[in-house]
Structure 1
C-alpha cells in the first residue's frame, strides 16, 4: 500500500518518535541519469540521508528518511563529475517537502493568508509559503480561451479599478489586469486570437476595447445588468413621483383570490372532464366505470360536478384560535405580525412566529385592514408577477394611475427575454419607453439603441457574467486579507492559481 504513495522508493522500516512517523527508505533503481548530460551511471560515489516531510496521517507528522546515493558521471565533457539521484515523482531537487504536502498547503492557502497559515502550522514561515505560491505560478498552463467574461474590480472604490477575465467554458479566471482602460484590455484581447464571444456589462470602455481588438468578436450584454439598470431608473422615477410612505386600505373582496389547483387536484379534474365528455357521447355508466376504473357511485358524483375538486385536510383548531378576536382587532388597527406575536407571548401563547405568521396571513384575507407601503414595496410589486401580490398591485394602480403604463413597460421588457427576440422587438420596446416622457427611461432606451447587437445576443444566448461576478466577490475577500502587505503579482497568483 505504501508503494502506491511512494512508487520510486522502497520502504525498509517504519518507526514512531513522539508525534512523528519515520519511514526509512531508499531508491528502487540501481542506476540514475545525470541531470546535466542525461548519461546513465551505475558507479556509486557515496550515500547520505535526505529528510522530507509529507502530509500528516491520523494526526501524526510523516517524515521520509531517504538513503540517497551520489553517482559518478562517466561523460568526460559533462560539467558535473558527481551528481545525486533525483526523485522527480516525489519532490523537487533540494526540496524539504513532497509534492503531496505542497499541494495540501496550496489548498489551505485558497481560503486564508500566508501569515494566518504560518500561525497555525508553526513550522513553516509565510515567506516559504509565498515562494511556493510563486513557484506554482510558473507551472500553470491555461488553454486558449474561446468564450470569456470580463468585469472590473476596485483597487480603491471610485478611485482606481482593475479588470478580471474568466473563461466561461472552464469556469476559471485566466487574467487579472492592473487597469480597465481601453488600451490595456484591447492589448490583452489581441494577444488571444482564439476568443470568439465576450460577455460583459454595460461598460463603454470594455465595449470599445473589444471592438478595437477584433470586430468579429460577438459581444454579449449581461442580462442581470440590464434588469438592474432598468430597476435603478424605475427607482429614480418612483422617488420623484411618489411619497416616501403611505397607507392603503385592503378590502377582503380584493383579497379572496382562488388559489391554483395542486397537481393532485389537476389530475382529478382532468379525469372528471374525461368522464363527462364520454357521457355526453352516450357512453353508459357501466362502460364509464370499466374504461376509467372508478366506482359507480364515484362515476355518478363526477357527472354532477361543475367545479374542480379541492383536496385538503379537514379544518383543525389552531393554537391561536383562542386569541382570534384580539388578532382581528389588531389587524384592523394595522399592527404588524411580530408585534401581535410578542403581545400574545406575554399573555401565555407558547408557539413560535413561524406557526403564528400563516394564521395571521389567512385572517388578513378576510379582514379589511390598512398596510404601510413605501417605494421599495411598490417597486417589488411592480416587478414580481405573483398571484399573492395581485390585490395589492390593483390597489396601487388604482391610487397611482401613471404606474399602469410603467407596469406594462416592465411586463413587456420581461417578455423580450422569454421568446426569440429580434432587433425590431427591442426597438419597439425602446419607442414604448420613450413615449412615457420620462427622462430616466429615455436615457435607458438610448443606451439600448447604442448597444443593440450585444443586448440582442444577451437575450438569446445563454452566456452571462454571473460566474465573473462571483470571482469578483472572491477577489474582494482575498484583497482585504492581503491589504497593506502585498501587490498585484501576489493577488494575481492567488486568484488565478488557487481556483
Structure 2
C-alpha cells in the first residue's frame, strides 16, 4: 500500500470517503485568482501568456503552466474543427459545369471559394468566356481571348493557349464552322472495337476484311456518297 493511500485512509472520517474514489481538491496558488481568470475568459481574453502577465501584476507568483492547465478544459470545449476545403477535382468540376447545373450548396461554396482567391476568380472568368466561344461557334474572338489570358498570372492557361496556337487554322475552323472530326473519330473507335474482338490474334489482312465488310452494312454505318 502506497504512502498516499495510507494518508488518505488515515484522514478519512467515514467509510464513504474511502469507497467514493473522489479526488480531493488540493489548494493552489492560483485559487485566489481563478475568479479573475473566469471573468477575463468570459470577456474573450483566452491567451494564457497574456493572462499570466496580468496575474503577475496582481501578485500571482505561480507558473504559467498552472494557468494553462486550468484553461485547457475550456479550450477543448470551444475547439471547432473546420470543414475540409474542397479539392482540386471538385472545384474543377464546378468550374467546368454550367452554372445552372450546380446545386444550391455547390453554388454557395463555389462562390465563397471564388471570393477568397482572386486567381481562381480570373480563371473562372476565362473558362466561362472560352465555353461561350465554343458553344456559339464564335472562333473569331479566340485571338482576343488568348491575349486576355496572357495578361493573367495563370501558367495553366498559358500552356493551353500555346497549344491552341500550334494548330491555329484547324482550331479556328473547329470553333467557327459546323464541320468537325466526329465521323472520323467514330470510325477509328469502331476499328479499335473490332480489333479488341479479335483478341490480337489475327493479322492485318483479316482486320482489313472485317472493317470493309462492316462498313458496307447499311444498318451499321451508311456509306457517304462520293
Q: State the TM-score, normalizing by the size of structure 1.
A: 0.24
Q: Which structure is higher in RCO with an 8 Å CA cutoff and minimum separation 6?
A: 1
